[in-house]
Amino acid sequence: MDPGVSDKAAAEAAGMLHLPLAQLAAKDGDADTAGSISGWSPSWPRGPGERATLHYDFGPVNVRAWSLSLAVELDTGPDRAEQITRTTS
pTM, two decimal places: 0.78
Q: Identify residue 61 by its one-letter amino acid code.
A: V
Query: pLDDT by residue (tens digit) across 34-82?
Result: 988 876 555 555 555 677 778 877 778 888 899 999 999 999 999 999 9
Residue 51, classed as helix, strand or coil, is strand
Query: pLDDT by residue (tens digit) across 9-33?
Result: 887 888 888 889 999 999 999 999 9
Q: Does 69 reside within a domain? A: yes
Nearest CA to 29 among 71, 82, 84, 87?
71
Q: Does 3 reside within a domain? A: no
What residue numbers bound the domain in which 43 lies?
9-88
Number of independent structural domains in the chain: 1
Q: Does 1 reside within a domain? A: no
Region of residue 49 (left: phi > 0; alpha: psi -120 to 50; beta: else): left
- Position 40 scores a pLDDT of 59
